Amino acid sequence: MTNTDERGREHDERPWGSFTVLDDEMFDHKVKRLVVQPGKRLSYQQHARRAEHWFFLSGHATVVLDGVEREVGPGDAVDVSLGQKHRCENHGSTPVVFIEVQHGTYFGEDDIIRLEDDYGRVE
């Protein structure tokens, strides 16, 4: 269920953590702040209508792009191309926080094609 935070921004709790929408006023991009809790991971997914750029603020994560793992930490950035399979995993003991800039033609949550999911959300 999507809620709003104290500043009136869209905020959603997920099984892996949460996201807050920081900017969605323009037609060609959307900006979110994601928090992945320790021991959790996003679904292995792809998008048909958007690419993403991730900038990591805190914590250490494993990013998977088309099956290839990469370790990232604060100050690192990752580009997820349109249609590329991807996931962020937190194997650490502190939350992973990153900013996600989406760029494309559509930013709805229904543009998530889940390939694997720890929480039973694969269709």
Token readout for 109 is 């949550």
Token pair in block for residue 87? 């996931």
Whether 47 is covered by a domain: the verdict is yes
Would you give the end-to-end CA distance of the chain in angstroms? 19
Provide the domain count of the chain: 1
Record the pTM: 0.91
Residue 56: give the domain boundaries. 14-26+33-116
Residue with tokens 């953590």: 17
Angstrom CA distances, 103 to 44, 73, 78, 83, 95, stand at 19, 23, 14, 12, 25
- Domain assignment present for 74: yes
Contacts of 108 (CB under 8 A, 6+ apart): none
**Local structure of 18: helix, strand or coil:** strand
**Pairing outcome for strands 10-14 and 2-4:** antiparallel
CATH of the domain at 88: 2.60.120.10
What confidence tens digit (pLDDT) does each residue in 87-118 have?
Answer: 999 999 999 999 999 999 999 989 999 999 99
Establish if 87 belongs to a structural domain.
yes
- What mean pLDDT do residues 65-87 have? 98
Q: Is residue 65 assigned to a domain?
A: yes
**Has residue 6 got a pLDDT over 80?**
no
The answer to whether residue 56 is domain-embedded is yes
For residue 48, is it left (φ>0), alpha (ψ between -120 and 50) or beta?
alpha
